[in-house]
């Protein structure tokens, strides 16, 4: 068991690939087929291409504020790749690679950040919860979901993503407390990218790791190199198996870095140095995985060109489809919260229609 061998109280971090792309933990290295390794790499490339396109769209006024994902590709793709179709995903606002890996259409992603409610209308065949913008507010929801699964004796796991800043919220602690008490099938993935907007991790907690917080609630936690896609895959797969068997939750701290701004309304240069960013850019998760694949004769310049070209076409098509979507109607502000409108909302909707001249 991986989790049993890496003690967060001792500051031990689980890693399979070194920063140079070499296997350092052969014992735990997953035996993945070449097609799976290529699929993981393509999802990382697609995430990066879509993220770079999103920045351009935002700067051109074609999309609203969004949260960049650059540097998180290994954490997102590696963990989501370990999930089965029956497992549920409770995302936060910086999960593009996980969305892609779980199969959410890119059109939905762009629509969401363009301000369309439809962007979070999840296709019925996908087990993905909608994004909650208030930090950590989705964690109690995910645990309640897990409690319901136990009561109904359903055998699936629930993966919840959140940033390190979420661990400073009461919702985080309440959720983990209930998860520990009721042994829910939750896998909590804390994406520790070192900053909660401008607040560094060192100002949020005196704990040596974030993973050790799980121990206070009676279950296991582990710190993982979040820039190592194979480590993220292996530890998530193990935690998911444990959850499905009814053996309780796991907290995974993915130790990574946010290479871009918190959102497009942020300027990270005001609170972190160029040297720090450069240090982490040299540890780019895509670069690390590329070296690993090249050493095995899987990666090539031709493959890289093929993947970038394919990803660019996929992104361009999704943007075209999103921008061709008719503007949202005023009613959409009201209709997605309740199955039936409350009297107060009905009154407000009537007033809005009158103001807009009956639209």
Active site residues: 258, 262, 271
Q: How far is the CA of 247 from the CAs of 85, 123, 143, 220, 239, in angstroms?
A: 20, 30, 15, 11, 9
> Is residue 70 within 8 Å of residue 109, measured between CB atoms?
no
Separation of alpha carbons 347 and 342, rounded Å: 9
Residue 73: count other Cβ atoms within 10 Å of its Cβ: 29
> Is residue 314 within 8 Å of residue 46, measured between CB atoms?
yes
DSSP H stretches of helix in 159-284? 170-182, 229-244, 274-281
- Cα dihedral 300, 305, 306, 312 in deg (nearest 10): 150
DSSP 225: E
- Please state the three-class secondary structure of 244-278 as a single string: HCCCCCEEEEEECCCCCCCCCCCCHHHCCCHHHHH
Q: How far is the CA of 264 from the CAs of 69, 106, 197, 244, in angstroms?
A: 11, 19, 11, 38
Nearest to 92 by CA among 74, 106, 72: 72
Separation of alpha carbons 233 and 79, rounded Å: 5
Three-state DSSP at 189 gives: strand
Separation of alpha carbons 236 and 222, rounded Å: 10
């Amino acid at each position: 068991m991986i989790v049993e061998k890496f003690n967060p109280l001792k500051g031990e971090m689980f890693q399979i690939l070194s920063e140079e792309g070499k296997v350092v933990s052969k014992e735990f290295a997953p035996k993945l087929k070449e097609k799976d390794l290529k699929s993981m790499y393509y999802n990382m490339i697609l995430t990066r291409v879509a993220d770079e396109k999103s920045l351009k769209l935002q700067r051109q006024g074609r999309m609203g504020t969004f949260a960049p994902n650059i540097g998180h590709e290994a954490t997102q793709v590696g963990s989501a790749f370990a999930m089965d179709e029956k497992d549920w995903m409770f995302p936060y606002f910086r999960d593009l690679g996980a969305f892609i890996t779980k199969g959410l259409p890119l059109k939905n992603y762009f629509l969401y950040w363009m301000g369309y409610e439809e962007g979070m209308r999840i296709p019925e065949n996908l087990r993905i919860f909608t994004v909650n913008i208030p930090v950590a507010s989705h964690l109690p929801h995910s645990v309640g979901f897990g409690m319901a699964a136990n009561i109904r004796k359903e055998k699936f796991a629930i993966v919840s993503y959140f940033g390190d800043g979420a661990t400073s919220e009461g919702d985080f602690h309440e959720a983990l407390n209930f998860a520990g008490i009721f042994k829910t099938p939750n896998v909590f993935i804390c994406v520790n990218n070192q900053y909660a907007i401008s607040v560094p991790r060192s100002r949020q907690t005196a704990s040596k790791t974030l993973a050790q917080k799980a121990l206070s609630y009676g279950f296991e936690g582990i710190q993982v190199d979040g820039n190592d896609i194979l480590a993220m895959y292996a530890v998530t797969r193990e935690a998911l198996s444990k959850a499905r068997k009814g053996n309780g939750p796991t907290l995974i701290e993915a130790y990574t870095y946010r290479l871009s701004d918190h959102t497009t309304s942020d300027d990270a240069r005001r609170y972190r140095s160029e040297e720090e960013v450069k240090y982490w850019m040299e540890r780019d998760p895509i670069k690390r995985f590329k070296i690993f694949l090249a050493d095995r004769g899987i990666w090539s310049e031709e493959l890289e060109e093929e993947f970038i070209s394919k990803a660019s076409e996929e992104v361009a098509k999704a943007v075209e489809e999103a921008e061709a979507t008719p503007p949202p109607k005023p009613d959409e502000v009201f209709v997605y919260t309740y199955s039936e409108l409350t009297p107060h909302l009905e009154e407000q909707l009537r007033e809005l229609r009158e103001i807009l001249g009956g639209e």
